[in-house]
A and B are shown apart, each in its own frame.
Chain A
Amino acid sequence: MISSIQNYITFLLRCARIACVGDWRYYAWMGALTIICLFGLNAYAKQLAQGLITTGMSDEVSWGVYIANFTFLVGVAAAAVMMVIPVYIYGNEELHDLVIFGELLAVAAIIMCLAFVTVDLGRPDRFWHLIPGIGQMNFPQSMLSWDVLVLNGYLLLNVHICGYLLYCRYQNKKPAKWFYIPFVFLAIAWAVSIHTVTAFLYVGLGGRPFWNASIVGPRFLASAFTAGPAIIIIALQIIRKFTTYRIQDKALLTLRSIVQVSMIINVFLLACEVFKEFYSGTTHSASAKYLFFGLHGHYALVPWIWTAITFNLIAMVILALPLSRSLRWLDVACVLSIIGIWIEKGMGLVIPGFIPTPLGAVVDYMPSLNETLVCLGIWAFGFLCYTIFLRMSVPILQGHLSKANEDEIEAQMTTSTKSHLIKSNFN
């Protein structure tokens, strides 16, 4: 028992140590991210002291880019299932060794989600009011309390699955199926639930006709399953470029077919929504009018949404053509869909829901500089986390960091060969 605890602590320490070393590119990348994080932290400190007045939000538009980013990232986290399902349900070979990178991305995305919700709170010092038992959780009435539960649950599930599999690989042991397979299947259902619950957060508000539509849930899933795997496609190519980890093109092309189908469904659902909003011409379509064409001389969101739609359509066409079997075109399509969907879910869904207000006032919203810095800080922090996860997991998966070479590495750590070793891992 004690020795297994010791082993585990050694494992954690070695992981922590390897996250602190790398070649100059690693240091430059991590250094740059840290600097952005600190700028974000500084902006957040200002916000804490002065209040949310440092943001562009108002009583009219009371949620802004924080909640927009949160919504987008819940989708990214949920999209990890798009690798899990092919592997665990259909026994896909190409993705088998890569699924853990998707799950680690989910962990990083959820960490960012929690950060975005926290910075949106007016009284973050009172977060404990949410904790069941010591606080008051309005469960099951409030969709926000559901969201808190499912997000933290999903984080735990993924941390458990990734942590367990990596630790087994580190010890060169075969993972016990009963100890992770049930959690994998639970996580599949859970992933769908996190994004559905996040959609219900909006759908449940009768006073906001733009959100109070049953299509929001399906659209969330479709756009998440487009943007999420698109991010994974890019991430895998970066891993391939900067490490010796072997990733086949075939795996990327499997993900391509997922992005392809999801994007077509996403665009179709958008078309359904646009038809419903504009054909009937009721007063309830005011938000959609504001978003797509502007209302009463206010056009703040019009350039955003048309950019998003253009990007999504171009991405869809590229993805649908055989052209995107070439990685260069696939990358273009992925980047376009990531940006397109980020806009669509943020500036295209969260903001227009508030405009016009329930009393008909049209007040524009633009994120302030301070608010943008906080966002950049959280994104940088997310990248930092994901980089660290990869820095730890790639050598473990390759067998370079394992229990077997515990002593060997310790010896090498103290000599100049260390940098050589790290290079061979990281390059």
Chain B
Amino acid sequence: MNSLPPQIDKASDQAMSRRSFLRGCAAFGGVSALAASLAPLRELGDYTNTDQFLQKYYKELTPSDMTKVIDRIEGEVERQYGIRPHVRDLKPMDGVEFVYALNLTRCIGCRKCVHACVKENNQSRSPEIQYIRVLKMPHGSMDVEKGNHNYDSKQVPEKGFLYMPIQCQQCKNPPCVKVCPVNATWQEKDGITVIDYDWCIGCRYCEAACPYWARRFNFTKPQIPKDKINPDMSYLGNRPRKQGVMEKCHFCIQRTRVGKYPACLEVCPVGARKFGNILDPNSEVSYILREKRVFIQLKEEMGTSPRFFYYFDK
């Protein structure tokens, strides 16, 4: 190591002051550059607020917490869309386990269910988020890879094809729930897998885990025209989502937990969709699963045990 004795002279003093001047310039430049690089954050807007940031996990909210949370959500929706919604925290009913059955012989591939769902569940119109994907399959195959996602037929159904609508299968062993690092998604006792949109961190691991491609991510702030808002909302269901969180089909929780049918079922022009309580032996779905000879669970080999069944009339 070089160990020259300290030499204090005029030249070094000048060098020092020049150096500290340069250092000052560098610091100033650095701070300005940092500020400039962070400028886009000004557009953050209503990204979050203190109440939202500190909000507890759904299962830890007391009834009075929930009242406050619902009040906050109603206020936010009103500010954003100019309409005061009615948000409820609907709980699962006792003795109810929902099951969906879809008649592939009847489905004509009109995609009315897709759009009824978007409307009912306040999905983003731009970019468009849809929970139901209808595959146009060549007759004789159940291999989804042969399906056409983007068919644009003038008239449906086309001869030689089968139409298969796919949405969240509400699995008994949901892989999406298992992988979520923060328990933001879970299965309720009526069989519906729900998401706490205020707890999801947006890692998209559930989206990678789902074998049915049923989950959707809000890649940007969802856009819904003000006059298209459905004000009848539930916390775990169709209240508007934020940028950066997951969403998916929840069997229209805001309807089915008060005894109504899901929107996709009501709109179906051919009655291909059946929904009900599997624990009730007299329900339509119980009858179908008991009496129809052919029904399938999509990708049964995954061991996910869907509560969504496909069947054929003959």
Contacts and interface: CB of A to CB of B under 8 A. Distances in A.
A289 B101 CA distance: 34
A424 B41 CA distance: 44
B208 interface: yes
Interface in B239-267: 242-246
A68 to B, nearest CB: 13
10 closest Cβ pairs, A-B complex: A122-B202, A207-B211, A122-B244, A360-B145, A416-B12, A51-B220, A42-B37, A53-B220, A144-B181, A49-B43
Given A48-B44, A359-B144, A38 B34 contact: yes
B221 interface: yes
A241 interface: no
Nearest to B5: A417
A49 B219 contact: no
Interface residues on B, range: 35 or more
Interface string A59-77: 1101100000000000000
21 contacts: A38-B33, A42-B39, A45-B37, A45-B39, A51-B220, A52-B217, A59-B219, A62-B204, A122-B203, A122-B204, A123-B200, A126-B201, A129-B184, A144-B181, A207-B211, A283-B145, A286-B145, A360-B144, A412-B6, A417-B4, A421-B4
A58 interface: yes
Interface stretch (A232-240, A336-344, A350-358): A350-358
A142 B180 contact: yes
A120 interface: yes
B213 A359 contact: yes
B210 A207 contact: yes
A49 B245 contact: no
A106 B313 CA distance: 61
Contact of B133 (A50, A359, A414): A359
B21 to A, nearest CB: 16
Interface in A26-53: 34-35, 38-39, 41-42, 45-46, 48-53
Contacts of B12: 415-416
Contacts of A122: 200-204, 217-218, 243-246
B304 to A, nearest CB: 8
Interface residues of A, number: 71
B17 interface: no
A121 B202 contact: yes
Nearest to A357: B213
Given A359-B135, A360-B144, A49 B2 contact: no
A57 B15 CA distance: 52
Contacts of A356: 145
Contact of A129 (B8, B201, B246): B201
B243 A142 contact: no
A420 to B, nearest CB: 6
A138 B183 contact: yes
A137 B245 contact: no
Contacts of A204: 179
A127 interface: yes
Contacts of A283: 143, 145
Give the interface SS of chain B, mostly helix, strand, loop or mixed. Answer: loop
Interface of B: 1-4, 6-9, 11-12, 15-16, 30, 33-34, 36-44, 47-48, 53, 57, 127, 133, 135, 143-147, 149, 166, 175, 178-184, 199-205, 207-213, 215-221, 242-246, 299, 302-304
A414 B244 CA distance: 51
Given A51-B218, A51-B243, A145-B181, A63 B209 contact: no
Given A123-B200, A136-B199, A130 B181 contact: yes
B182 A138 contact: yes
A345 to B, nearest CB: 16
Nearest to B45: A49
Nearest to A122: B202
A58 B215 CA distance: 12
A48 B41 contact: yes
A182 interface: no
Contact of A57 (B211, B219, B302): B219
Contact of B180 (A62, A121, A138, A408): A138
Nearest to A138: B183
Contacts of A130: 181-182, 201
Give the most central of B6, B53, B304: most A CB within 10 Å: B6
A272 interface: no
Contact of A420 (B2, B33, B36): B2
A393 to B, nearest CB: 16
A148 interface: yes
B203 A120 contact: yes
B40 A121 contact: no
Contacts of A58: 219
Nearest to A202: B208
Contact of B182 (A117, A135, A412): A135
